[in-house]
Amino acid sequence: MELLKKRILEEGTVVSDQVLLLDAILTHQVDPELTMEMGRAFADKFKDDGVTRIVTLESSGIAVAFATANELKVPMVFARRKRTLLADPDVLVERVPSFTKGIVTDILLSRQFISPSDRILFIDDIIANGDAARGLVRLVERSGAQLIGAGIVVEKTFQPGANALREQGIRLESLVKIKSLENGQVHFSE
């Protein structure tokens, strides 16, 4: 997705050889036009797969997941990272390490919003080590639903997360692949 690559180069900040800050376009501020374009791109990739529901993690994946759900005309549900006082007591829970936060957290998905008859598309913003993604995959599996695939906005190919999902047999489609962040610069694959 050339527009996304352009915006990453213009507005992304390379923090280290491992970390790319995309607050201006994806992880803090949301550009509605770019986000809807990303949703259209994912919808096009998965339009023939019979997706019945989009699942993502709070919070940075929500905007793109919503845009994708809007294009596919299906509901979108997000896994929470914290239990609330009003939370459904019938939740699936997985403990996962967070690459960006450096801590282990719970992710929770209410059984009320996912069923064994669902065909799930997982959408997320960035995949690095893939711990959160694998946790969400386990939640979907435990729900009895079928995971159709994963759509990732930015895949860091130099970190193991995306390949780990592919090795599990999960179809993973990325809008942009980054092969390195060496010398303070973004280097794209393909």
Please give the model's pTM, rounded to 2 decimal places. Answer: 0.93
CA gyration radius, the chain: 16
- C-beta neighbour count of 93 within 10 angstroms: 14
Domain definitions of the chain by residue range: 2-188
Find residue 119's DSSP bridge partners.
146
Residue 39 has pLDDT above 80, yes or no: yes
Q: Is 78:62 a contact under the CB 8 Å cutoff?
A: yes
pLDDT at residue 90 is higher than 70: yes
Mean pLDDT across 8-16: 97
Please state the separation of Cα 125 from the chain's center in Å: 4
User: What's the rounded Cα separation, in Å, for the pair 186 and 179?
Assistant: 8
Q: Does domain 2-188 have CATH number 3.40.50.2020?
A: yes
Beta bridge partners of 80: 108
